[in-house]
């Protein structure tokens, strides 16, 4: 399994100045994100990505990224940095209100920076790409997101953990994985609609209902059967 870093310190773009080289990197990432989102990470060749980015030199991708996993890592880092800045803004607004925020408000601040992307083709491209990474056995996106060290993700995670304080830690962690899996998969399916970027009212309803569903799943009572199954895994 490839280890995604998703850390600003490891994003090679932060160390580069604007110029032709950086433009080439960005075109390669955009082409890869689009192709990966449509056909999956293993359904696209590096040659196809080079061609889609308008690169005649077939070694361009290797030169800029080294390998397909490093390319995926670069796309995620580039996007995560942008999304997390927006997440921090929303969490700051919650903190300014004073009282401890309700779980649904935390979830809204956590996922709105992604759901806001659904009104543009560029945003739809990223959501589809992220869902493909999520479902690829070579990557573990939920674990990476929780351990990334980004300020917004870390703060949101802490607020969710606090809201689920009565749950056994193992159940709380697994439910957080379910939360991310449910959100990304549902958003990617939504983008298949022909009017996904145009029907703002339908999109707002879909997002609101999705947040209700995630909040309900996180706060659901733990069945005795589930506790028994957890105890069995601990004994094993």
- CB atoms under 10 Å from CB of 173, counted, come to 16
Classify domain 8-235 by CATH architecture.
Answer: Orthogonal Bundle (1.10)
Q: In the Cβ-directed half-sphere of 71, how many Cα atoms lie within 13 Å?
A: 30
Model-level pTM?
0.83
DSSP assignment of 135-166, as one string? Answer: T-TT--HHHHHHHS--HHHHHHHHHHHHHTTT
Structure tokens at 88: 């921090």
CA distance 15 to 139: 25
Q: Could you read off the pLDDT of 81-109 as tens digits, one per residue?
A: 899 999 999 999 999 988 888 999 999 99
pLDDT surpassing 70 at residue 50? yes
Confidence class of residue 40 from pLDDT cuts 50, 70 and 90?
A: very high
Q: 150 and 111 in contact (C-beta within 8 Å)?
A: no
Q: 72 and 129 in contact (C-beta within 8 Å)?
A: no
Q: Could you read off the pLDDT of 167-180 as tens digits, one per residue?
A: 999 999 899 989 99
What is the average pLDDT across 152-157?
91
């Amino acid at each position: 399994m490839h280890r995604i870093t998703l850390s600003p310190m490891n994003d090679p773009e932060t160390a580069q100045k604007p110029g032709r080289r950086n433009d080439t990197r960005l075109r390669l990432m955009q082409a890869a994100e689009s192709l990966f989102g449509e056909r999956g990470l293993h359904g696209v060749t590096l040659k196809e990505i080079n061609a889609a980015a308008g690169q005649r030199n077939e070694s361009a991708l290797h030169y800029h990224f080294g390998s397909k996993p490093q390319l995926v890592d670069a796309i995620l880092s580039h996007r995560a940095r942008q999304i997390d800045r927006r997440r921090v803004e929303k969490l700051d607004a919650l903190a300014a209100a004073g009282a401890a925020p309700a779980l649904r408000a935390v979830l809204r601040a956590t996922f709105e920076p992604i759901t806001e992307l659904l009104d543009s083709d560029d945003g739809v491209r990223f959501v589809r790409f992220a869902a493909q990474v999520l479902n690829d056995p070579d990557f573990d996106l939920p674990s990476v997101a929780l351990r990334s060290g980004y300020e917004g993700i870390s703060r949101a995670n802490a607020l969710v953990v606090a809201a689920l304080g009565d749950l056994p830690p193992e159940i709380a962690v697994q439910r957080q994985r379910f939360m991310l899996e449910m959100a990304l998969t549902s958003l990617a399916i939504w983008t298949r609609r022909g009017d996904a970027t145009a029907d703002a009212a339908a999109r707002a309803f879909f997002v609101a209902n999705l947040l209700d569903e995630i909040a309900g799943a996180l706060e659901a009572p733990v069945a005795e059967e589930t506790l028994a199954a957890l105890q069995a895994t601990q004994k094993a």
